[in-house]
Amino acid sequence: MAARTLYFAVNFSGVSGMTKPGRVAPLLIGAGTMLTSMVVAGFLLGYVVDTWLGSRPVFMLICGGLGLIGGFMKVHKLLSRFG
Amino acid sequence: MSEAVKQSGGGTVEYIQHHLTNLCAGDCDPVTHQATSFWAWHLDTLFFSVALAVLIIAFSIRLGRNLSADAPGPLQNFVESILEFVAGQVKDTFPGHNPLIAPLALTIFVWVWLMNFMDLIPVDLLPLLAGFVGIHYLKAVPTTDLNTTFAMSFTVFAMIIYYNIKVKGPVGYLKMFLFHPFGKFLVPVNVVMSLIEEIAKPLSLGLRLFGNLFAGELVFLLIALIGGTMAVGWAAAFWLPLQVILDLGWLIFHLLVITLQAFIFMVLTIVYLGMAHTSDH
């Protein structure tokens, strides 16, 4: 149960109702890093694709935006366990 | 601005830069001592991380030879409590069974904690001792070097990919990229989003540990500079008690930070590997 709570807390496909805040608490410290690393990872991926296609900054912006959305989704999923 | 103030300002910057410069060998800039290509070695980082690993191994071998089931000593009790703590975390957060995970988690926790602990040794002590034997640059905390934290996070990342392919199969792993998180109608977005999510794992692991420890080291250096102002004039000795109090306060707080960072690195490694072991991603 706890394993699944943690697993879903850091994943998109969470199942509502599986809440055990004590187990997820340590991960909250990483919420900020989770958001920033998703944005940075998005920009990195976009940078690689742009370098490959010579289309800078199109994919950097698209992937950066997707990283931001994904980061928000992950952090929201994590924080909603405490809501 | 007077000359003395200018000099003290320059000295301050120089002091911090000096303490944050690694002992570089190989392709390094002769002036800045920074790596100029891939083939540069941070000897201090390598030395301290390997030395701490050897310490763990030697300690474990010695403890292993003196184990007692009937009358465990205080050291054995202490190690057993750490073992039980880590085993409990693995049991709680890791679905399925893999005999490699608990030893891996324990190694990560103890090794990262010891490398972080180097931050609590007075910032000037080891560079001063190294200076006596002709080593002019020394950064004693391996985890304040991005090379260490990324080496560990990329190793964990390689294991994540390996177990994903092993448990889910190549097709199952590919499906994860195609249909997650928005289902089958947004495949291109899913691929990009999943790729970003996967890349973010080693990034966040490595950057979190590095950022916390680097910032901690920097605060120690800034506190040490309070005493450093005595070089300007002995009247500054008035501030010495402040340095002692601040240093002690930050040290106690940092003890919590280094433990927490080692713990988070360990827990996230278990969680990520746990995600790789579940087929319902």
Distance CA B154, CA B161 (A): 10
3-state secondary structure of B233: coil
Query: For A29-44, how does the pLDDT look when each residue is reduced to its tens digit (9 = 90+)?
Result: 778 888 999 999 999 9
pTM of the full predicted structure?
0.86
Query: Between chain A and chain B, how many beta carbons pairs sit less than 8 Å apart?
Result: 92
Q: Is A33 on the interface with B (CB under 8 A)?
A: yes
Residue B215 confidence (pLDDT)? 96
Residue B237 confidence (pLDDT)? 76
Distance CA B259, CA B114 (A): 9
CA-closest candidate to residue A64, choices A42, A47, A48 = A42
Pick the catalytic residue from B66, B81, B204, B279. B204
Q: Which residues of A touch B211 (CB under 8 A)?
A: 33
Shortest Cα distance, chain A CAs vs residue B203, angstroms: 6
A3: pLDDT strictly greater than 60: no
pLDDT class for B280, splitting at 50, 70, 90?
A: low
Q: Is B195 on the interface with A (CB under 8 A)?
A: yes
Q: Which residue is closest to A74 within chain B, CA to CA?
A: B197
A64: pLDDT strictly greater than 80: yes
- Beta-bridged to residue B24, according to DSSP, are B42
Asked whether the CA dihedral B57, B220, B213, B19 is positive or negative, the reply is negative
Reading the block at residue B179, the tokens are 């249909």
Residue A24 confidence (pLDDT)? 60
Mean pLDDT of the region B23-52: 94
Reading the block at residue B178, the tokens are 């195609």
Q: Which residues of B touch A63 (CB under 8 A)?
A: 192, 196
- Active-site residue flag, B77: no
- Active-site residue flag, B208: yes
Shortest Cα distance, chain A CAs vs residue B275, angstroms: 6
Distance CA B240, CA B245 (A): 9
CA-closest candidate to residue B9, choices B231, B215, B197 = B231
Q: Which residues of B touch A7 (CB under 8 A)?
A: 93, 95, 271, 274-275, 278
A15: pLDDT strictly greater than 80: no
B240: pLDDT strictly greater than 60: yes
Distance CA B60, CA B56 (A): 6
Where would I find the H helices in chain B? Answer: 3-19, 43-65, 74-93, 101-117, 125-132, 146-179, 187-228, 240-277
Pick A6 or B50 by higher pLDDT: B50
Inter-residue contact B279 to A14 (CB < 8 Å): no
ipTM reported for the complex surpasses 0.90:
no
